[in-house]
Amino acid sequence: MFVLLIVISLLLLLIYNYLVYPYNHWKNLNVPGPKVEGWHGHIPSIWHNKQNYIYEFAQIYENYRLKYNFVGIFVLRQPQLLIINPKVVKTVLVSKFKFFRDNYFSEPVTKQTDKLLGRNPFILKGDEWKEKRGELVSGFSVFKIKTQYPIIEDSCKKLVNYINDQSKPIEVKDLCARYTCNIVASCIFGMNAEAFSEKNPIILDRARNIMSNQIWSHLAIISLFPFINKFYKGTYVDKTSEDFFIKLMRDATIHRKSSVENRLDYLDFLLDVQQRKGGSLLDIAANGLTFFLDGFDTSSIFMFNVLYELSKNQEVQLRLREEIEHYVLLHNGNLSYDFIEEMSYLDMVINETLRLHPSIPVIAKICTEDTNFELYENQNVIIKKGTIVNIPIYCLHTDEKYYSNPYNFDPERFSPESGGAREFKEKCIFLPFSDGPRICLGMRFALAQGKGLAKKLLQCKHPSSRKTLNLIKKTKKIKNRQLKKFGNAAKMNVQGKQLFWFYEQIEDIEGPLTPDMYKELIQAYLARFDEELEQINIKHTLNKKRSNQHASRESVIKITLEKEVSDFNGGGLELPNLCDPVEFKHFQDWDGDASKIQHLKLHFVSKKWLESLNKEDKMIE
């Protein structure tokens, strides 16, 4: 009995040491980080899946973002790094890429266990990845996208017909999945996926099965018990789905080789690569499946988020519709890929969607050679080979240090006048498709699908429904909680534009305004849209008919002006008292920073109030 107790005690001690010992890893290396509260480490959602793991990364990021360039964390019992400083992000993805060229998911997946997933360029490691990328990169060129754009347009038409045939509100996530499935199935397998005619298209069902939680559950277990990977010989993609896509590619290649048709699509490209470089059916099927999953899953989520944000932000939707109408008229309804690329506001909306909803919120890389990072000034830390390094894209995209009012959907931050997305990308604070040599190959194709869908839908539909409106109400409640936390950011965004207009008008004026001068200034503010309305009327006159869309820029302006005029004639506009010398000087010293609006003294300035001030001045005289 005594011996049994000793054996049990030793066994428990070994288990305890196995589970707890790794949690001293970063402490021993003098790398700061949050305290570990349990065996699940700092990202317990990977195990229990109760919330999106990005929020746990975000909490750690927020706590340390002003202190260190990176911190040590634990994903279950595995020590990993969380990068905070975008300069270190650039080091990982670009300048020291050779030390971090492998992706985390490369480790547990092999060609032996997974015939298709193991040949995925995202999974491949080292020189094998480099060689495979070199073969495929030309398949995603601008020229290739242009040649396949008619397939995107055809799917857009089928999608609109599908919507017209429905009598009930449509689940947009399913709609986007059908749309992308239809496109990529045609480009890769040369087939009609019947995505808009069948209730559950088999190819869509198989794709969803592959992207199920099964893969992520396997990876979570291996993160907790890494030694399992040495013995686990199972697959991450079920054999039925694997065989389905191999057969699909076999049939497609046989049909295409026997056909005189030259579609210049992705299947033609893969067959050309096979002819030049050699390769088995499995290689072609793996490349096809890679393109299919990228084009289907991540692209459909991205498009869902575009439509979601447009339904929430009606003014943005109306302005985008105007731009689309303008280009439709300009090019006689023929909007090719080149014309779509010219649409600057569409580009702004897409970029802002990708900022708030990155397809991959965290990129995980593996250190392949020992190197070092600067923890803070003059303090370097050696990063050992095999260390997993996390880049929290979502956290960088929503950091108020880089984006004012980061949780507001504001496409203007990517306007051409502000430099577009280039400056943000160069600073590594806008990474919707990652960066460096392993930047996403299919990004152009994904953007083409998204822009094509937005263009077609806004031409003839108004993405909204009762379910959407209810969702918007829920979102507003969440947003209100965020506003209390982050300081009334949304109000600043709207009110800031109004205050900044007045700030620009008085910037060079000496002394306070008289009530009459202030009244004239407000009248000028209320007339700020006159020139734009005149241009709209000219456009209507030339076209000889008004747009039959649900709303237009003209109606938005009129609604805005009606409210502002009503406020000025009634309770007042929320503005500083520019007739008071102290408040005038304080407002003139404001630098236009929206975050400082809360320090301005504001009043409800009405017509009646200004008239009463005028009477007081005359009585004093």
- Tell me, letter by letter, the H, E, C secondary structure of 397-448: HCCCCCCCCCCCCCHHHHCHHHCCCHHHHHCCCCCECECHHHCCCCHHHHHH
- Are 33 and 47 within 8 A, CB to CB? no
- Domain match, 440 and 330 both: yes
Residues 6 or more apart whose Cβ sits within 8 Å of residue 109: 117, 118, 120, 123, 236
Residue 88 falls inside a structural domain:
no
SS3 state at 379: strand
- Domain match, 165 and 226 both: yes
Residue 583 falls inside a structural domain:
yes
- What pLDDT score does 131 carry? 86
- The CATH number of the domain holding residue 323 is 1.10.630.10
Residue 169 falls inside a structural domain:
yes
- Domain match, 446 and 584 both: no
**Calpha distance 171→465 (Å, rounded):** 10
- Domain match, 437 and 521 both: no
- The residue written with tokens 């992207």 in the block is 211
Residue 327 CB coordination number (10 Å): 18
- Domain match, 497 and 354 both: no
Residue 512 falls inside a structural domain:
yes
**What's the token pair of residue 77?**
């019992």
- What pLDDT score does 552 carry? 55
| Residues placed in the known binding site | 440
- Domain match, 188 and 326 both: yes
Please say which residue of 440, 460, 480 terminates a domain.
460
- Domain match, 566 and 613 both: yes
Range of the domain at 210: 100-359+432-460
**Calpha distance 578→588 (Å, rounded):** 9
**Calpha distance 307→317 (Å, rounded):** 9
How do strand 70-75 and strand 78-83 relate by DSSP bridges? antiparallel
pTM to 2 decimals? 0.71
DSSP track, 552-612? -HHHHHHHHHHHHHHHHHTT-EEE--TTSHHHHHHHHT--S-GGGGGGS--EEE-HHHHHH
Type of residue at 22: P
- The CATH number of the domain holding residue 583 is 1.20.1440.170
Of residues 250, 176, 310, the one with CA closest to residue 184: 176
- What pLDDT score does 507 carry? 76
Sign of the C-alpha dihedral computed for residues 423, 429, 434 and 437 taken in this order: positive
**Calpha distance 584→505 (Å, rounded):** 12
Of residues 77, 136, 54, the one with CA closest to residue 396: 54
- Are 572 and 533 within 8 A, CB to CB? no
- Domain match, 441 and 580 both: no
**Calpha distance 208→284 (Å, rounded):** 21
- Domain match, 516 and 449 both: no
| Residues placed in the known binding site for heme | 440
**What's the token pair of residue 14?**
């070994």
- Domain match, 438 and 510 both: no
- Domain match, 446 and 508 both: no
- What pLDDT score does 349 carry? 96
pLDDT < 50 positions in the chain: 224, 482-492, 545-551, 619, 621
Residue 2 falls inside a structural domain:
no
Instruction: Give tens-digit pLDDT for 568-592.
Output: 888 889 899 999 888 888 888 887 7
Residue 425 falls inside a structural domain:
no
Helix axes 314-330, 443-460, angle to 10 degrees: 90
Q: What Rg do the C-alpha atoms of the chain give, in angstroms?
A: 29
Instruction: Give tens-digit pLDDT for 270-283.
Output: 888 888 888 888 88
Residue 34 falls inside a structural domain:
no
Of residues 233, 302, 298, 599, the one with CA closest to residue 450: 302
Largest pairwise CA distance in the chain: 107
- Domain match, 593 and 454 both: no
- What pLDDT score does 429 carry? 96
Instruction: Determine which helix (DSSP H) or strand (DSSP E) holds 160, and give its type and residue range.
Output: helix 142-165
Residue 241 falls inside a structural domain:
yes
Count of structural domains, the chain: 2
